[in-house]
Amino acid sequence: MQQKIGGQNVLKTFSLGGIHPSENKRSADRPVEILPVPPVVTIPIAQHIGAPATPIVQKGDAVKVGQVIAQSSGFVSANIHSPVSGKVEKIDDVVDASGYRRTAILIKTEGDEWEASIDRSPDIKKEITASAEEILQRISAAGIVGLGGATFPAHVKLSPPPGKTCDILIINGVECEPYLTSDHRLMLEKGEEMLIGVQLLMRALKVEKAIVGIENNKPDAIHHISQLCQAIPGVSVQPLKVQYPQGGEKQLIDACIGRQIPSGKLPIEVGAVVQNVGTAFAVYEAVQKNKPLIERIVTVTGLSVKKPGNYLARIGTPMADLIEAAGGLPEDTGKVIGGGPMMGKALTSIDIPLTKGSSGILIMPREIASRKPVENCIRCSKCVSVCPMGLSPYLLMTLAEKAIWDRAEEEKIMDCIECGSCSFTCPSSRPLLDYIRLGKGKVGQIMRSRTK
């Protein structure tokens, strides 16, 4: 679907549904600030989708910045490196962003001593010498996961299963979540490095073409990246109409190249691989600078936050330190969210550590932090019209409520990408996505038990 703007530029977007919440990108023009290294970091061993990493350090061990402290424990898993230098204080169960107690490595910081192999010079290293295999191996060793929030180990996506081929790389610079601006800032400030990362990814995937999808509410980023792209063959920018959830893989591929992934399949089915701009930058650092993933850009924002901003912080930094840097927790705080307002997770405390997937910390004032009372479904069909997957959320909720799992499966409950557009839109404030999630859990279980 295309839309004309000013008679010349053609903006694309995805075909079905979508919403446009208030953007509230308060921190969009705040340059990235480097946050001081905290006195203690907490590094959960499960920061990615897949098997948690296995700790390979013990209490009392001295570590350097960039040293592996927990090793990938399978193909779908990722290494974890120490983001600071110091001593391992303990390995303990701590509450992380999921709200559950999980194993984490606590390190007491001493100085800031880096592994000697890491190139810390500020120069941009342009020439690409690594082979596809070397790039993949570096990405895997550096513990890179999808930095858009999904935290899927990057090397897995870059290794298409036998029989499947990839012909295009799509780089996700959409940042469709309201409030968040970390990807926006990264594109403006690290665009050149990010595009070298894109070229590395292209080589790893053996593709000739890459598209960077950026929504039209970031005209400066579109302009900047487009200019940089002129010198790079095969890489181009696709400006996109602002529409949530365009950052979803399926929606982004549809928007950029008009291919729709069939139900239950992965992007590789249509010959595409999607990586986030932050991931591309991390790939640049890993391959060109030998630097593992030990820090990330995170937006700290909210309607009553005094100094909303973007921060480069070490993994394991307590959220509280980041909130402090943004002017402290506002008086009227009702909810603190890890991520954006549409798909982020409400945190149980602000002492939770920053992890690889944390793209933002959003602080919601009390009066908008609670849900409104649930009313009867009035069958207005707004949930159906906004669903980007073409599902019937009202029906899926009823089926999940009544535990009719076979019908829920028939109605493609597993296709739901949990974007929350239905719950956002519902005039009766019905918890559509809550029930659909419940249903997905059950139906997924049933489907897995069937194939065993």
Cβ-based nearer residue to other proteins, 16 or 128: 16
Q: What binding mask, one character per residue, do residues 199-238 give for other proteins by CB under 8 A, x or -? A: ----------------------------------------
Q: Is 336 in the site for other proteins (CB under 8 A)?
A: yes
Site for other proteins in 72-101 (CB under 8 A): 99
Q: Considering the complex, what minimum distance in angstroms separates the CB of residue 77 from other proteins? A: 26
Stretch that binds other proteins, among 81-89, 119-127, 154-162, 263-271 (CB under 8 A): 263-271
Q: Is 437 in the site for other proteins (CB under 8 A)?
A: yes
Q: Considering the complex, what minimum distance in angstroms separates the CB of residue 251 from other proteins? A: 8
Cβ-based nearer residue to other proteins, 70 or 257: 257
Q: Considering the complex, what minimum distance in angstroms separates the CB of residue 14 from other proteins? A: 8
Stretch that binds other proteins, among 13-21, 53-61, 109-117, 147-155 (CB under 8 A): 13-21
Q: Is 357 in the site for other proteins (CB under 8 A)?
A: no
Q: Is 164 in the site for other proteins (CB under 8 A)?
A: no
Q: Is 374 in the site for other proteins (CB under 8 A)?
A: no
Q: Considering the complex, what minimum distance in angstroms separates the CB of residue 205 from other proteins? A: 15
Q: Is 364 in the site for other proteins (CB under 8 A)?
A: yes
Upper half-sphere CA count for residue 184 (Cβ side, 13 Å): 24
Cβ-based nearer residue to other proteins, 39 or 264: 264
Stretch that binds other proteins, among 38-46, 273-281, 305-313, 344-352 (CB under 8 A): 344-352
Cβ-based nearer residue to other proteins, 286 or 391: 391
Q: Considering the complex, what minimum distance in angstroms separates the CB of residue 66 from other proteins? A: 33
Stretch that binds other proteins, among 65-73, 223-231, 291-299, 347-355 (CB under 8 A): 347-355
Q: What are phi and psi of 295, to 5 degrees?
A: -150, 165
Q: Considering the complex, what minimum distance in angstroms separates the CB of residue 324 from other proteins? A: 14
Site for other proteins in 271-290 (CB under 8 A): 271
8 Å CB contact between 193 and 225: no
Token pair 């956002």 in the structure block, residue: 424
- Residues whose CB is less than 8 angstroms from the CB of residue 114 and which lie 6 or more positions away in sequence, other chains included: 64, 65, 66, 85, 120
Distances (CA, A) of 118 to 66, 81, 137, 291: 8, 12, 16, 5
Q: Is 60 in the site for other proteins (CB under 8 A)?
A: no
Cβ-based nearer residue to other proteins, 327 or 334: 334
Of the residues 274, 433, 440, 443, which one makes contact with other proteins according to CB under 8 A: 433
Q: Considering the complex, what minimum distance in angstroms separates the CB of residue 95 from other proteins? A: 12
8 Å CB contact between 63 and 57: yes
Residue 331 burial (10 A CB sphere; 0-12, 13-18, 19+): exposed
Site for other proteins in 382-421 (CB under 8 A): 382, 384-385, 387-392, 394-395, 412, 415, 418, 420-421
Instruction: Name the residue type at position 205.
Output: L
